[in-house]
Amino acid sequence: MVRLGAPPLLPAGQGRIEAIDLARGVAIALMILSHAVSGLLGIRQVPDWGMVPIHLLTKFSSSLFITVFGIALAVAFLPKTDAPDWPRRRLKLMLRGLEVLFWYKALTVVEMLPLYSAQDILDTLLYQRFPIWVEILGFYAIALLWLPWVLPLWRRLPLWARLVGPLAIALLSGWLERHFDFWGIEPLKAILVEDADHYAWGQLSRLPLVMVGLLIGEAVLCCYWQPAARRRLVLGLVGVGAALLLGFVAVSLPGLGEALVAVAWNVGKHPPELAFMLFSLGGALVILALCLLAGERGAAWLRPITTIGSDALMAFIFHIVVIFLILRFLFEAWQVYAYPQVLGIGLALILATAGWIALIGWIRERR
């Protein structure tokens, strides 16, 4: 029986859950498709039929990616926060954060190399400005440096506090973004709560998605290996996701068509606004539910997508290098191809990314 005043009772994990890899792989695949289009063609060149529905569907990616990040933290680390070896596991997470930070800086250079001056690149490396396509790595790098310190606190919180937490943090972040200037230091504001003049993922503004992921991860630990309980979890996620999508429709009427186009154009993505987040998180939860319903069998059927999700950092490195260093810089492929061709390149790149990760894994096994 679930008690609102009790901390979670979490069973030990029973191994890697490939359905989580599948959900993460879907998020990355949508991201690759979006990056291929915006990185090789540009959003302004996308025809109307490409913006809605194709490019619109990629807006599920960011919320799904960050939510799955929270789920993975809960499944892999939350049950062990009171174990004697927790300091070692915490250090492992922080070292992973430093690794992601290195690749964030390296890929920033790769992204900006085709079109920006050396001074612009240097300013970006020093947090005077922010990149676009690789900026989400900056969010993960910083998050992995401080979240391991608060996971034990989350584990001790009663259920009511864990349920209220995401909404409270979202409201606080929104208030700070609108009313506090962070002593005039725009990069600091962008890193913490986002700023309209900078393309950055705020630690506080996106923390509610991580917290939602932690809650779902707790449920996954308790329910995934029990078919009846997993079905109830899936139905719950579908219900919440559908409610959020209906909420998007409600706040968008009578101009629903215009609202869909606005979301496709990233209106309300940075800083996060209600309509965009209702759409993005609603779709993300429905996709997550379908992945959990598919389970290990579905992950096997969709092996290329699952493979991408099994090594998110490698997938990110590979597709950014191919798009920006190889195609855009070396082959000068900026706005060379029509939208259907760029779309085809994006789909091919998804498969190529899966193949590259599989090849690297095969090489590591042989070693």
DSSP-assigned states of every residue in 207-236: HHHHHHHHHHHHHHHHHTTSHHHHHHHHHH
pLDDT score, position 2: 61
Tokens of 87: 């300091």
Judged against a pLDDT cut of 70, whether residue 131 lies above it is answered with: yes
Judged against a pLDDT cut of 80, whether residue 1 lies above it is answered with: no
Quick one: CA torsion of 177, 182, 187, 189, rounded to 10 degrees? -20
Confidence tier at 343 by pLDDT (50, 70, 90): very high
**Contact 216/237 with Cβ under 8 angstroms?**
yes
Max distance between CA atoms of the chain, in angstroms, equals: 61
Q: How many helices (H) and strands (E) does the chain have?
A: 16, 0
Q: Closest Cα to residue 151, out of 233, 92, 223, 192?
A: 92
Residue range 26-39: mean pLDDT, rounded: 97
What's the pLDDT tens digit per position in 306-342? 999 999 999 999 999 999 999 999 999 999 999 999 9
Q: Is the peptide bond preceding residue 271 cis, with omega within 30 degrees of 0?
A: yes
Quick one: CA torsion of 134, 113, 122, 37, rounded to 10 degrees? -30
**Contact 346/37 with Cβ under 8 angstroms?**
yes
pLDDT score, position 9: 75
Give me the helices (H) in 60-202, please: 60-76, 86-112, 118-125, 135-156, 159-179, 186-192
Where do the domains of the chain lie? Answer: 28-358
Residues 6 or more apart whose CB falls under 8 angstroms from that of 166 comprise 207, 208, 209, 211, 212, 215
Judged against a pLDDT cut of 90, whether residue 170 lies above it is answered with: yes
pLDDT score, position 8: 74
CA 105 to CA 122: how far, in whole Å? 10
Judged against a pLDDT cut of 70, whether residue 217 lies above it is answered with: yes
Tokens of 204: 């506080």
Tokens of 158: 């009663």
Q: pLDDT averaged over the chain? A: 95
Confidence tier at 11 by pLDDT (50, 70, 90): confident
Judged against a pLDDT cut of 80, whether residue 199 lies above it is answered with: yes
Q: Compute φ and ψ for 195, nearest 5 degrees.
A: -140, 140
Residues 6 or more apart whose CB falls under 8 angstroms from that of 339 comprise 37, 41, 45, 46, 47, 50
Residues 6 or more apart whose CB falls under 8 angstroms from that of 273 comprise 267
Q: How many CB atoms lie within 10 A of CB 95?
A: 12
